[in-house]
Amino acid sequence: MTLIDAFLLAVALAMDCFTVSITCGILQRRMGTQVWIMAMLFGLFQAVMPWIGWGLTGLFEQQIADYDHWIAFALLVFLGVKMCFDARRPDDKHHYNPSHLGVMLMLAIATSIDALSVGVSFWGMGLKHAQSLLMPLIQIGLVSFVLSIVGKYIGVKVGQHFHLRAGYVGGALLIFIGCKVLLEHLQP
């Protein structure tokens, strides 16, 4: 795998992180210190999941490929529906807060499920030694980290300029991403 191939793969994997970060920015309408934690979690999970997928390839390749999209779909739709329900409550009663560590962890897991499948495909690309994974995994993690920060910044700016019902917009975006992941995997 060339550096350019690894970079393009990293950008493709980071798109879900980017979109979810925009959603979090729209909801919060401010950049806080939690953006660094979120970006680190997104980058870490995006880098570690392919490694896990690569390691489990020989044992559970078919089972992982059969269910990864369902797990990502369920997590993203659950969070999206919860966000929409919370948006119906008065502003002082909202429970969905993307700055909470538990929410950030669920988002990091949900956005990195596809990366697990990429790890499975690394065997087919000829990356059969752990050393050959180092550069692609670093690139995947760094690109996800950077695009998460950029996405959060864009979301904050959008949220500040357009006073949308952010909970509904964010929930709809998460549901859309979940459905997109599922449809991409169900197409023949």
Return the number of other C-beta atoms located less than 10 Å from residue 134's C-beta: 11
pLDDT band at 41 (very low <50, low <70, confident <90, very high): very high
Q: Is the dihedral of CA 127, 128, 134, 138 positive or negative?
A: positive
Q: pLDDT exceeding 90 applies to what percent of the chain?
A: 22
Identify the domain containing residue 108 by its residue range. Answer: 3-186
- Predicted local distance difference test score (pLDDT) of residue 95: 56
Mean of the per-residue pLDDT values of the chain: 81
Minimum mean pLDDT among 12-26, 89-103, 138-152: which range?
89-103
pLDDT band at 92 (very low <50, low <70, confident <90, very high): very low
Phi and psi (nearest 5°) for 173? -65, -45
Q: Is the dihedral of CA 110, 111, 114, 119 positive or negative?
A: negative
On the question of pLDDT at 125 being above 80, the answer is no
Which tokens is 135 given?
């550069």
Return the number of other C-beta atoms located less than 10 Å from residue 10's C-beta: 24
- Predicted local distance difference test score (pLDDT) of residue 60: 65
Can you say whether residue 29 is alpha, beta or left, with left for phi > 0 and alpha for psi between -120 and 50 degrees? left
Q: What is the pLDDT of residues 138-177, one digit of tens each?
A: 999 999 999 999 999 998 998 777 765 656 766 777 788 7
**CA 1/CA 21 separation, integer angstroms:** 28
Phi and psi (nearest 5°) for 163? -80, 75
Question: In the 3-class helix/strand/coil scheme, how is 108-143 assigned residue by residue?
Answer: HHHHHHHHHHHHHHHHHCCCCCHHHHHHHHHHHHHH
Q: Looking at the 3D structure of the chain, how many domains does it have?
A: 1
Give the residue among 19, 12, 15 at the shortest CA–CA distance from 169. 19
The residue that leads in pLDDT, 101 or 163, is 101
pTM of the full structure: 0.73
Minimum mean pLDDT among 53-57, 91-95, 123-127, 167-171: which range?
91-95
23-27, 55-59, 141-145: range with highest mean pLDDT: 141-145
**CA 44/CA 111 separation, integer angstroms:** 11
Give the residue among 78, 106, 84, 108 at the shortest CA–CA distance from 179. 78
- Predicted local distance difference test score (pLDDT) of residue 3: 82
